[in-house]
Amino acid sequence: MRAIAVTGPSGSGKTTLVEAMASLEGSRSQSLKLMGDIGVTMFEYMEDKWAVLDIPGGHDNLSQIGSVLAASDAAVLCVPAETDAAVLAAPYLRILEETGMPVFIFINKIDVAADRVSDIVSALQRYCRHGIVLRQVPMRSDNEIVGAIDLISERAWEYREGERSTLVEVPEKMFNREQEARTELLESLADFDDNLLEQIIEDQSLLTEDVYEVATRVLQRHDLVLSFLGAASHGNGIQRLMKSLRHEAPQVEALRERLNLPDDILAVSCSADHLKHVGKAILIRALGDGVQSSIRLGGGMIGSLNAIDVKTPVSSLAPGKFALIIKSDHVAPGNFYTSNKTIDLPEWTEAHPAALRRLVEPVHEKDDNKLSTALARLAEIDPGLTLAQDETSGLLEIGVQGPLHLRRTVEKLAEAYGIEVECSDVPTAFRETIRKGVEKRYRHRKQSGGAGQFADVVVAIAPGVRGSGFEFGDTVKGGAVPRNYIPSVEAGAREALTSGPSGYPVVDLRVTLLDGKTHSVDSSDYAFQMAGQSATREALSEIGTFVLQPILKLEVHVPSIFAGSLAQLASGLTGQVLGFEAHPTATGWDVFRTLLPMASHEEFSRALGSATRGTAWFESNLDHYEQTREYAAADA
> Which of 18-22, 32-36, 119-123, 248-252 shows the lowest mean pLDDT across its residues?
32-36
Q: Tell me how far apart the alpha carbons of residues 228 and 110 are, in angstroms, rounded to a whole number.
A: 10
Q: Are 117 and 48 in contact (CB under 8 A)?
A: no
> Which of 70-84, 289-303, 355-369, 533-547 shows the lowest mean pLDDT across its residues?
289-303
The domain ranges of the chain are: 2-256, 261-342, 356-425, 435-544, 550-635
Q: Which of 402, 398, 400 is nearest to 371 (CA)?
A: 398
Residue 604 above 80 pLDDT? yes
Q: What is the pLDDT of residue 450?
A: 67
Q: Tell me how far apart the alpha carbons of residues 344 and 15 are, in angstroms, rounded to a whole number.
A: 29
pLDDT digits (tens, 9 = 90+) for 63-97: 999 999 999 999 999 999 999 999 999 999 999 99
Q: What is the pLDDT of residue 636?
A: 41
Contacts of 503 (CB under 8 A, 6+ apart): none
pLDDT digits (tens, 9 = 90+) for 165-197: 889 999 988 999 999 999 999 999 999 999 999
Q: Which helix (H) or strand (E) holds 66?
A: helix 65-70
Q: What is the pLDDT of residue 303?
A: 86
- Looking at domain 435-544, does it have CATH number 3.30.230.10? yes
Q: Tell me how far apart the alpha carbons of residues 566 and 367 are, in angstroms, rounded to a whole number.
A: 43
Contacts of 568 (CB under 8 A, 6+ apart): none
Q: Tell me how far apart the alpha carbons of residues 470 and 464 are, in angstroms, rounded to a whole number.
A: 8
Q: Which CATH superfamily hosts domain 2-256? A: P-loop containing nucleotide triphosphate hydrolases (3.40.50.300)
Residue 28 above 90 pLDDT? no
- Looking at domain 356-425, does it have CATH number 1.10.730.10? no
Q: What is the pLDDT of residue 449?
A: 64
List b or e across 599-624, with b for residues whose CB sees 16 or more CB atoms inside 10 angstroms.
bbbeebbebbbebbbbbbbbebeebe
* Overall pTM > 0.75: yes
Which ranges constitute the DSSP H helices of 418-559? Answer: 486-496, 525-543
Q: What is the pLDDT of residue 630?
A: 56
Residue 584 above 80 pLDDT? yes
- The type of residue at 148 is A
Q: What is the pLDDT of residue 626?
A: 92
Instruction: Please give the mean pLDDT across all residues of the chain.
Output: 93
Give me the percent of the chain exceeding a pLDDT of 70.
98
pLDDT digits (tens, 9 = 90+) for 552-574: 999 999 999 999 999 999 999 99
Please give the average per-residue pLDDT across 97-115, as a whole number: 94
User: pLDDT band for position 634 (50/70/90)?
Assistant: very low
User: pLDDT band for position 11 (50/70/90)?
Assistant: very high
Please give the average per-residue pLDDT across 20-46, as a whole number: 91
> Which of 432-441, 446-455, 516-525 shows the lowest mean pLDDT across its residues?
446-455
pLDDT digits (tens, 9 = 90+) for 53-64: 999 999 999 999
Q: Which CATH superfamily hosts domain 261-342? A: Translation factors (2.40.30.10)
User: pLDDT band for position 36 (50/70/90)?
Assistant: confident
pLDDT digits (tens, 9 = 90+) for 141-171: 888 899 999 999 999 999 988 778 889 999 9
Class of domain 550-635: alpha beta
Residue 617 above 70 pLDDT? yes
Strand bridging mode 438-446 / 453-463: antiparallel
Q: Are 359 and 421 in contact (CB under 8 A)?
A: no
Three-state SS at 180:
helix
Domains 2-256 and 261-342 fall in the same CATH topology: no
Three-state SS at 26:
coil
Please give the average per-residue pLDDT across 318-337, as a whole number: 93
Q: What is the pLDDT of residue 635?
A: 46
